[in-house]
A and B are shown apart, each in its own frame.
Chain A
């Protein structure tokens, strides 16, 4: 029987040598939520993201997305089903324009196949128009519109973080996995990121966000999941989690 969340993991495990980076992780992300994933450094959050997105293979466990098991699928098939991740260290396509960075993420269309591109280039390019408009709207939303034609490599560090978010949204995710979207970003850009996530969430996109900035997590997230040593140690509303003694222990280095 499939778990009830939009995304659920059961017993997810990944070892690196003798270390269990993720150790029997049971994660549940409710559809429509903004869920925070927090935990001390080395808790296994990023590894969990890699496993869920398909960049790493689990040693054991199951991953369910929208009622189907996806742990056997390659990464791009998971993304195609609506499970799209951003990267903690921005991976912009440096030589491509900012707009092209977004258009790369547009949903599959005829122009991505060889034969239509060769035989009916005009039609294929005309079909790009709505995607271009959507990309421009997302650039507007993320405040990158004035850089649309600049090579992405020339953006500032903070702008590259916004580009990560913009590209993730462009892919039309049902669940966006954001890995520290606000790390190293100045307050003005940070506000832009929060605003963008909220706006998209209102339109129905579910978010799972790794974040270290507790103020941000507490103000943005509906639910918070706390990881330590590769597993979930607490989950609930931001208030509940903040008062949980186990969480305080994990963060303050109490007895394991």
Chain B
């Protein structure tokens, strides 16, 4: 049972890191991103491949965040004028493209079979019996650092400018602020958080494959951010807790629900998440589209 709780803490912290990234992009800056999982994949493969090649984790994990952030620069560069629904389509397509490339270009990460026996940070440093707890602590530390950095940004004048871009990007532009720079910064930081989360995710499971990075994961993260209503870091973490508990915390239910096997339970979880998304759209439409039409 303790192991189970530790696992939930680990998953929750990872989801929360990725959700904080989306919250910076969407909640603060108004940049719709339905492809957060694409940046998770880039980060995950980056650190997995580096770790397998023998690089130390103090390098591989930051490199995962950096690679995800850098890849988002490309996305910003080709979509400077896109907003809202169009940006949603592009980001969704981007993440699917990443997954399909990883699936079909087997020389990168083994294609559909993926890569197994990934090295783990802190392995050998902490005793094996305490390893999962140590890993949970590592993910919580990553969450704390991400939350600390992002909350400082949103409290500073730059945070006000990001919110100004969200409200009406013509205004910051008209008073001398580079909207492209602000959007790029929000996008890069949010993508870097996703890369960090993706990296922590696969080293925890010791396994990586393209199937882990389907669009469905972006939806989970989206629900976490929407549940929080956008904007607040603390509430976003709370939203991630709710989503992670629904996703991971319901595994034991199959022991208590007669006539439901693991596969059915997995489908049931998705239905719950889907229902939550619909409920959020009905009851909190302002969280989905908080700006008034121009």
Contacts and interface: CB of A to CB of B under 8 A. Distances in A.
A118 interface: yes
Contacts of A91: 168, 170-171, 174
A91 B175 CA distance: 12
A210 interface: no
Contacts of B175: 79, 84, 104-105, 167-168, 170-171
Interface residues of A, number: 40
Contacts of B291: 94
A66 to B, nearest CB: 15
Contacts of B233: none
Contacts of B292: 94
A87 B174 contact: yes
Contact of A104 (B152, B153, B164): B164
Contacts of B176: 76-77, 79-80, 84, 105, 107-108, 171
B24 to A, nearest CB: 11
A75 B157 CA distance: 21
Contacts of A171: 175-176
Indicate the size class of the contact surface on chain B: 20 to 34
Nearest to B182: A112
Given A76-B179, A118-B152, A96 B163 contact: yes
Nearest to A93: B167
B-side binding surface: helix, strand, loop or mixed?
helix
Nearest to A82: B176
B142 to A, nearest CB: 16
B185 A114 contact: yes
B78 interface: no
Given A100-B160, A121-B156, A125-B155, A76 B170 contact: no
A108 B175 CA distance: 10
Contact of A117 (B158, B164, B170, B171): B158
A95 B165 CA distance: 12
Given A93-B164, A104-B175, A171-B175, A109 B157 contact: yes
Contacts of B177: 76, 104, 108, 112
Interface string B130-173: 00000000000000000001001101111111011011101111
Contacts of B206: none
B276 to A, nearest CB: 25
B216 interface: no
Nearest to A127: B157
A111 B173 contact: no
A168 B176 CA distance: 11
A250 B179 CA distance: 40
Nearest to B186: A114
A244 interface: no
Contacts of A85: 174
Contact of B153 (A53, A109, A114): A114
A179 to B, nearest CB: 11
Interface string A182-205: 000000000000000000000000
A240 interface: no
A91 B173 CA distance: 12
A113 interface: yes
B285 to A, nearest CB: 15
A223 to B, nearest CB: 24
B184 to A, nearest CB: 11
A128 interface: yes
A84 B177 CA distance: 12
Nearest to B157: A111
B250 interface: no
A114 B161 CA distance: 12
B156 A104 contact: no
13 contacts: A75-B174, A87-B170, A91-B168, A92-B168, A96-B163, A100-B160, A100-B163, A103-B160, A104-B177, A112-B161, A113-B158, A118-B149, A124-B156
